[in-house]
Amino acid sequence: MVSKFFDFVLSPFAEMSPYAGLSLISVVTGVVMVFLYSWTTDQKKLKEIRDKIKIHFLEVRLFKEDMAEMFTIQREIIKENLNYLRYTFKSAVVLILPILFIVIDLNARYSFYPIRPGDSFVVAAVAQDQNSLARIELILPQGLSMDVSSMRIPEEKRVSWQIHAGSSGIYNLIFHQGEKQYMHNAVISSRIQRIYPDMKTEKEWISRLTSNAGLLPSDSPIQMIHIEYPKQESFLGLQPGWLYFFFLISMIAGLAVKKMMNLA
């Protein structure tokens, strides 16, 4: 549901810089999170705690030469900070879930670029064992062609192919292993789209959570299928760039709205 909503909202930005659509989502996320925070916290109580902490910091300046009093004040500051965390804990739990779903979807959109029409790319499969490796074959759909035939690395139980992309589209790559076959989609486009480079087995719980590309059976002779997409650029030298940008912009937007609403 989150993915389809973002598909609709971000479609006007699909041919722009990745940071155009990401800026919109970041600002909206920051604002919405602040409203959720205000609805799920006791603002009156939090403001009382905040005011007490401010008073204790003023006392630190007044009694800085009285060590006994300083220890008492510092103990009170710690106690009030723990109270603050206790009253905001429920809100933090409520906010984590939507943030998690948003980050998972944005990761699929902004970690990689689609393969552009006319470019070449590498497809790889990792086998369960060397016997399985020898029997893996790749069948290409019309619109894709093979630049380099299969290269097998028995030590890594890995086979790879270099593919040439034709026109834009989503292409089904079919991997045969004996009588079994598995499919993974290759996205050829100049527009920003959701990208799932890896297709892994069901036994990897993180794959269940993050992949919409489908999963390989846990007993599959092919343990992973990988399509090598171009990586998105870093942000201020940091990777993944989109993630740092998202949190920075959403925090700035959130703090601005929080200040306007005078929230604790």
pLDDT, position 34: 95
- Is it the case that residue 254 has pLDDT exceeding 90? yes
120-227 under CATH 2.60.40.10, yes or no: yes
Q: How many CB atoms lie within 10 A of CB 43?
A: 16
- Is it the case that residue 1 has pLDDT exceeding 80? no
pLDDT, position 99: 93
CA geometry: angle 6, 9, 12, nearest 5 deg? 125
Distance CA 134, CA 157 (A): 9
Can you tell me whether residue 249 is helix, strand or coil? helix
List, for residues 13-54, the tens digit of each pLDDT value: 888 888 999 999 999 999 999 999 999 999 999 999 999 999
Distance CA 136, CA 158 (A): 10
**Closest CA relative to residue 29, chosen from 257, 196, 195:** 257
pTM: 0.81
Are 27 and 250 within 8 A, CB to CB?
yes
pLDDT, position 212: 62
Are 132 and 147 within 8 A, CB to CB?
no
DSSP state of 199: E
Can you tell me whether residue 245 is helix, strand or coil? helix
Query: Which sequence spans correspond to the domains of the chain?
Result: 2-111+238-260, 120-227
